[in-house]
Chains A and B, each alone.
Chain A
Amino acid sequence: MIIYIAGVLIIAGLFFFLVGSIGMIRLPDFYSRLHSAGIIDTMGLLLSMSGLALLILNEFNLGNFLSAIKIILIIVFIFLTSPTATHAIVDAGIRAGLKPWEKKQ
């Protein structure tokens, strides 16, 4: 049962990875590309990593439990750092005078 939940989570995470990667290529400017890069770091990573943690816990023992804890810690730290990094980059872009993209009339 746990395996199926984990599989669904990982596949959902991979879907966000895919969407984010396509967005990084297809979106028109710096800020919107960063937005799609943010999706990879948050949703994609959250889902696939928690899927992995569940997958490990399928066979429960102390070592696997520790590994699962480590994975959760990774998620926590990524959730702290990734938005901050995106924020800092956007901030630097604005300060450097980069104008957001507008649709041409």
Chain B
Amino acid sequence: MKILGTITILLCGGLLIFFTSDFPDFGDPKSPASIHLSPYFIEHTLEDTAVPNIVTSVLADYRSYDTMFETTVILTAGLACFLLLRIPTKEVTRRYYLHEPTGVTLRFDGDRYPKGSNVFKRIDSNWVPYDIIINFTCRLLIHFIQIFALYVVAHGHYSPGGGFQGGVVIGASIILFAISSNLRASIKRLGEKAAAIFTATGVFIYAGTGALCMVIGEHFLNYSFLAPLLGTDRIMARSHGIFIVEIGVAVAVMAVMIWIYYNLSSAGKQDEGL
């Protein structure tokens, strides 16, 4: 298998490289890709959508339909991980508790843990003592990360950024929190249900905007028909429409990253994990 694979791959690679001799040179301004369609986007983005960042305007307006299905793809991935992995078990098996005054770890089988006492703290079976340096730095940084993420989402019209990037950064901040403390602490703050509903909400904001345009006006996702609702002219309505769907993308991406992380890191149990 290995030898066969190597030979096939060398052949494929050789063939692929051989045929590149007819391709346009790297950075050739006269290549068909650069002169057929893209000049339209570059020259008309301001008059069509009033968004200087061409990537944003193409992503969320000219090819917004692609982007709607991009958010749908991550919804699909979240649902797929949930369907494949999640083990919704209510039964309590073996659990470990730390007696905080003494530092002794106790093991309780089943549900025999003394409910009323607050000197015990639940820990994972592969628990390691919390490191104060890591904990402190992460708690300090998470706020900055989230503020930066909001900046990236909101400033996508004028600088590199947008819904997807900002959503990833927010999701990463919450995953950083889960890593620096533990999975349970982060599930307590943003549960699985919230993550799932946020994901669906994000896609719904996007697709709902599209459907609203279709109900008011003519085409799916044609934001210019939102102008009477937003109280602006048709071009600024496109700019605002882009912003609305970017928020949808950000919410969906943020939530789905957390959702997938919960399921993958605990193999679906969401009881113990990183």
Contacts and interface: CB of A to CB of B under 8 A. Distances in A.
A91 B131 contact: yes
A77 interface: yes
A80 B144 CA distance: 12
B133 A77 contact: no
Interface residues of B, number: 9
Nearest to B145: A77
A77 to B, nearest CB: 7
A32 B144 CA distance: 31
Interface stretch (A18-26, A34-42, A81-89): A81-89
B144 A77 contact: yes
A91 B134 CA distance: 10
A80 to B, nearest CB: 6
A104 interface: no
B128 interface: yes
Contacts of B16: none
Contacts of B131: 87-88, 91
B12 interface: no
Contacts of B144: 77
A87 B133 contact: yes
A99 interface: no
Contact of B128 (A80, A84, A87, A95): A95
B137 A81 contact: yes
Contact of B137 (A80, A91, A95): A80
A87 B140 contact: no
Interface string B225-265: 00000000000000000000000000000000000000000
B141 A81 contact: yes
A80 B141 contact: yes
Interface in B111-141: 128, 131, 133-134, 137-138, 140-141
B134 A77 contact: no
B141 A77 contact: yes
A38 to B, nearest CB: 14
A84 B134 CA distance: 6
Interface in B134-178: 134, 137-138, 140-141, 144
Contacts of A88: 131, 134
Nearest to A91: B131
A77 B141 CA distance: 8
Interface of A: 77, 80-81, 84, 87-88, 91, 95
Interface of B: 128, 131, 133-134, 137-138, 140-141, 144
Closest 10 CB pairs of A and B: A84-B137, A88-B134, A87-B133, A84-B134, A80-B137, A84-B133, A91-B131, A95-B128, A80-B141, A81-B141
8 contacts: A77-B141, A80-B141, A81-B141, A84-B133, A87-B131, A87-B133, A91-B131, A95-B128
